[in-house]
A and B are shown apart, each in its own frame.
Chain A
Amino acid sequence: MEQEVIPFKDFIIKKMKGQLIGIPLILALVISLSTSLIIIVSFANSDKAFVESVAPHIATLLETQDRPEIQRFVRAISTKKGAEVEVIFNNEIIASSFSLERIGTEFEKGIISLPFLDLKFNAGKLMSFTIARRENGWGGDKALIGIYLNWTPVIYLSLGISFIVFIFTFFVIKWPMMKIICETQLSLKHLSLLEEGISKLQNKFEATEIPPFPISELESIRSAFVTSQSKLSETNEKLAKSKAKEMASYAYKNLIHDLHVPVTALRNHLKIMGLERATQEDRENALKRIVDLAEQVLKQVKSARSHLGLEVLLKNEDIVESVRKATNNAQIASFDKPNIEIRAVLPDEKLMTSHDSILLGRALSNLITNAIEAASKQVQVELSKIEDGVSIKVNDDGEGLGQEEVSLHLQGRGKSTKNERMGIGLASANHIIRSHGGKIIYQSSSLGGACFEVRLQGDSV
């Protein structure tokens, strides 16, 4: 079963809902029950205190065996106190306000004492006993005055008061609990802020966007995260520089490789010039060829010099924006081709990728401008996220190029049939893309012309 993922705030409320009701309920119940017990006990004690005050007199009446007077007295006490009273002597009821039939009968056995209370249960009735004793004289455990608690008013009263106490206590206890939960929720705001900050930082790292927190654990997390991000950024820069050097070295290698063929041809032609058996015509051709080759070498060196001067600065930025700008720039530059329709197919969301927005923009502009030049009606720029990076395709519906020709152009050696710019543009674009660790793939376009696809790796430079 899939676990439900909910915000921390909701999680806390969900977890504490039971306690929020349960704890006040239990506490209020305990307090109200205690209150009603206290009421019952205090009632019983008040009755008992009254009986205690008349006990010496009852002791005297018992001593003089004046039971009619005891009975009248017991009846009077009962009427006044609203509680039933019995006098028990030698376990025999000798006076009762309950029922005259009980007089002369044995007092019930099986009295249950209530723990911690001076009360006893007898046949479902709550009662307390007082020994009928006269000071310095008659009396003993044999003579008892039992007073039965008058349940009805006590129960109504204790129920009423307990109910009020219950309601009051419930809310009084619930209030601080709610307060605690509210405070807990409030303190979680910092966690949310941290979460939000981190989330933002994933898109665009700016250390100042996460303010410091008053909670040490959160602050440690923030600080650790910010430090890691900063270090990661520094490392990225170093890596980029190292990559750039590598790229430069690679470019040199390419240059050397690219120059090897014309320079060898140049040497061979120079050899021809020096050969005795070479005809005048041969020498003229060689000379003509030497001039061409020298120009080509010069052009390649020039091109390489300009490329090697570029220094790529990678940043984790929105490539969608960079592609959009590059498309616009190319469109503006090709104002003399207003009949060419340029379509940009871009994702709606930001796509954060490490790149140098200026140089990549220039490279893309070159590709798009070339496409506009070559197109007969339309150019389509398409940006999409692929498995390990991004793909930017620039399509046109022109005549297209041969694979070999493209390769020469990418090396900066090709001769454009239309103008020079294209060759320079492609070689430059190629150099920039390579400096990003990416590559340019040439393929036939679905529009019928050429398609230059730029592939950049997403999380590495």
Chain B
Amino acid sequence: MSNVFIALQTNEDTRQIIEAIVQDNPHAVVNEQPAMVKIDAEGKLVVRRETIEELIGRSYDLQELQVNLITMSGNLDQTDDEMILYWNA
């Protein structure tokens, strides 16, 4: 299965989001680059609202992610609770 990825700006907003992604996706590989963090994962990557909320201690709307997003790869499906990136093949 191919890798999907998501890249976020390196800043104080994304520090815990990245932590949440790593918690929810043990197979994900974090790759720190100049000013950005790229997270690769084989097949599928899930960003969960609840995990982020636990880490940041406030309610969070997954659409806020838009502000710090750099790029991504894979088919996307977003709901109130999850943002999923996946390949079918």
A and B part of one assembly: no
